[in-house]
């Protein structure tokens, strides 16, 4: 399992990075990204600490551990600047908190995240075909999520992504140990989102490609 959207005590998760990584390893993960919620108030505090933790933990783990960020509930006009800042501070993978139907995310967030070239647009809710097509053009992955609430729109997201030819990945958006899933559970979530069996392996491959890119950047 590759999971590119998780949270620690640095935002609203319940585990320190060390325990999250250990629990993911026991669950059979091959790679994990630590992507705590950030805005302009805490981005320069969290990312250096996540980078330091990921670097040290990587020396004692067979997993790939990626320091990342989830830009969350930021006004759309500020998203591009914060994506750039996250990368400058050392985030190897940048997620933007999309227009989930479960929260009052500002309209225009999906488009701003895609325009900014985020790596992943998480739980993008009722994403438009126009935005899905732009994500396909810019190589921004659309997330299918195992997270309760956010997952309500998985079927719509997969439909838009498949029609537009956009990349998809599956993540847990884990905040606690019980949110972690194995590969078989991930397959069930993807099937429930309406993704044909023959396309599921491609989604896992997309995640591996993002891991590889994070290692090169």
CATH number at residue 10: 3.20.20.140
- What are 117-149's pLDDT values in tens digits? 999 999 999 999 999 999 999 999 999 999 999
Average pLDDT over residues 177-196: 98
pLDDT band at 215 (very low <50, low <70, confident <90, very high): confident
Considering its fold, how many domains does the chain have in total?
A: 1
Residue 64: is its pLDDT beyond 90?
yes
> How many angstroms separate the CA atoms of 212 and 174, rounded?
22
- What are 11-30's pLDDT values in tens digits? 999 999 999 999 999 999 99
**Which residue, 93, 84, 144, is CA-closest to 115?**
84
pLDDT band at 217 (very low <50, low <70, confident <90, very high): low
Average pLDDT over residues 198-212: 97
Q: What is the pLDDT of residue 23?
A: 97
Residue 126, domain extent:
2-216
The rounded mean pLDDT for the chain is 97
Go through 24-56 and write b for each residue having 16 or more CB atoms within 10 A of its CB, e for each that does not: bbebebbbbbbbbbbeeeebeebbeebbebbee
Average pLDDT over residues 169-198: 98
Average pLDDT over residues 43-69: 97
For tokens 């070239």, the residue is 117
């Amino acid at each position: 399992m590759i999971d590119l959207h998780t949270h620690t005590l640095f935002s609203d998760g319940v585990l320190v990075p060390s325990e999250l990584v250990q629990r993911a390893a026991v669950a059979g993960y091959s790679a994990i990204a630590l992507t705590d919620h950030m805005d302009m108030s805490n981005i320069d505090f969290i990312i250096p600490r996540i980078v330091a933790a990921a670097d040290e933990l990587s020396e004692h783990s067979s997993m790939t551990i990626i320091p990342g960020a989830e830009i969350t509930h930021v006004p759309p006009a500020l998203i591009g600047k914060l994506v750039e800042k996250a990368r400058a501070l050392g985030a190897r993978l940048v997620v933007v908190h999309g227009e989930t139907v479960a929260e009052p995310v500002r309209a225009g967030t999906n488009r701003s995240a895609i325009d900014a070239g985020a790596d992943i647009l998480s739980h993008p809710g009722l994403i438009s075909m126009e935005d899905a097509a732009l994500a396909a053009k810019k190589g921004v992955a659309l997330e299918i999520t195992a997270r309760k609430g956010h997952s309500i729109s998985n079927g719509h997201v997969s439909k838009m992504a498949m029609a537009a030819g956009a990349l998809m990945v599956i993540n847990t958006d884990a905040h606690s140990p019980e949110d972690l899933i194995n590969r078989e559970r991930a397959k069930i979530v993807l099937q429930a989102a309406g993704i044909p069996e023959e396309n599921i392996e491609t989604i896992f491959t997309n995640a591996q490609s993002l891991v590889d890119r994070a290692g090169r950047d």
